[in-house]
A and B are shown apart, each in its own frame.
Chain A
Amino acid sequence: MTGEPAQVVVIPCSGIGKTYGSVAREAAYALCDDLRPGGTRLVALAKLVLGEEAARERVRTCPVVTIDGCKLMCASKLVTHSGGQVAHEVAVLEVYRRHKELKPEGIEELNEGGLALARVLAEEVAEVVDEIRRTRTAPGGIRA
């Protein structure tokens, strides 16, 4: 007998002033809305940190993937600070270093490079999400 696969919480860094923050957010939307809508749940970082109980509970009981814009890794740090366990963390900058042809520009609206970079990042994280869901079950369930 196996339990239901765990839902994976996805938390982008929320940075609003820089392009990499916009890429992080767009990647989170691509992951949660397009690629893995059934197995992921987007949670806003500020809500989590400022103590919304439902958000904190979700982060404490579900595997969490963080997508940060820069090396400061605010989302990852704040999830840990809130009592959650980061199952996977990724920084946009790190993915960009592997895909230099996808140069992101723009903040309010990303250019084509930025959108493509977000998509590549989302696809990479989607594979990680699949792996996490294969090996973990929902709270109270039995590990597969």
Chain B
Amino acid sequence: MLSVLQPKVGIVSCSGEELAQGTVARLATLEVLHELRPTHTVTICLPLFLAGGEGDREFARHHPTITIDGCDLRCAARGTEMYSGMPAASLVVDELVAAAGLAPPEGRRALNEAGRQAVKVVAERLAQLVDEVLDRRQHPPPAASPATSGGETDPPTCPCRSGRGPVR
């Protein structure tokens, strides 16, 4: 059961098995979860979330989430918006890879060198976003200041577009 008491960020990864970018998203998520920010993150299982896992949806309603998608279909971001609310931030691997000037990752089952580099880049950006999201939560700004670096889409905002940021 996911705790709703600790200040944690839920990471929702697309896990797309068809593409190497999905593997990058998944491995970057696990890197953050296990190595970079183990005490401040949990992962939300996207299939369970989509299938109606009430524990995961409940967590995402009360905690900030960061979604990470392999491609511009943005399944994780759309699924989170659909079932729990706007994510605090969203990343797309393709866009981060392009912004970092890396070659496109290859090898959905076993990543090539470019893919492994992409995992590092994405994991570091994801960890940075976790810190930013938690900091925003502890010190809410008077007005939302959307994250701006490459790879992020749809700056965090509230559903009513009042500009006060996601209500968590």
* Proximity string of chain B (124-167) to chain A, C-beta cutoff 8 Å, 1 when within and 0 when not: 00000000000000000000000000000000000000000000
Nearest CB of B to A67, in Å: 11
Q: Name the contact of B75 in the complex, choosing from A33, A50, A75 (C-beta under 8 A).
A: A50
The number of chain B residues with a CB under 8 A from chain A is 30
Quick one: closest B residue to A107, CB to CB? B30
Least distance between A56 CB and chain B CB atoms (Å): 13
Q: Which of B26, B27, B78, B109 is within 8 Å of A50, CB to CB?
A: B78
Q: Which residues of B sit under 8 angstroms from A75, Cβ to Cβ?
A: 47
Contact B29 A16 (CB under 8 A): yes
- Asked whether any CB of chain A lies closer than 8 Å to the CB of B17, the reply is yes
Residue of A nearest to B74 (CB): A50
In the complex, what's the smallest C-beta–C-beta distance from A20 to chain B, in angstroms?
A: 11
Q: Which residues of B contact A43 (CB under 8 A)?
A: 18
**Are A77 and B26 touching (Cβ within 8 A)?**
no
B59 to chain A, nearest CB (A): 13
Nearest to B110 among chain A residues (CB) is A29
Contact A15/B16 with A50-B73, A50-B75 known, Cβ cut-off 8 Å: no
Q: Check A12 for interface membership: any CB of B closer than 8 A.
A: yes
User: Are A15 and B48 touching (Cβ within 8 A)?
Assistant: yes
Known: A16-B30, A29-B109, A108-B27. A47 touches B47 (CB 8 A): no
Q: A46-B75, A77-B51 are in contact. Are A16 and B43 (CB under 8 A)?
A: yes
B154 CB, min distance to chain A CBs, angstroms: 15
Given A16-B13, A16-B15, answer yes or no on A74-B51 (Cβ-Cβ < 8 Å). yes
Which residue numbers of A lie inside 8 Å of B, CB to CB?
A: 12-17, 21, 25-26, 28-29, 33, 42-47, 49-50, 52, 72, 74-75, 77-78, 81, 107-108
Q: Can you name 8 A-B pairs with beta carbons within 8 Å?
A: A45-B17, A46-B79, A49-B47, A50-B79, A72-B53, A74-B50, A74-B51, A107-B30
Given contacts A16-B45, A45-B50, A77-B51, 15 further A-B contacts (CB under 8 A): A15-B48, A16-B15, A16-B46, A17-B33, A25-B17, A26-B109, A43-B18, A44-B19, A44-B22, A46-B79, A47-B16, A50-B73, A50-B82, A74-B50, A78-B50
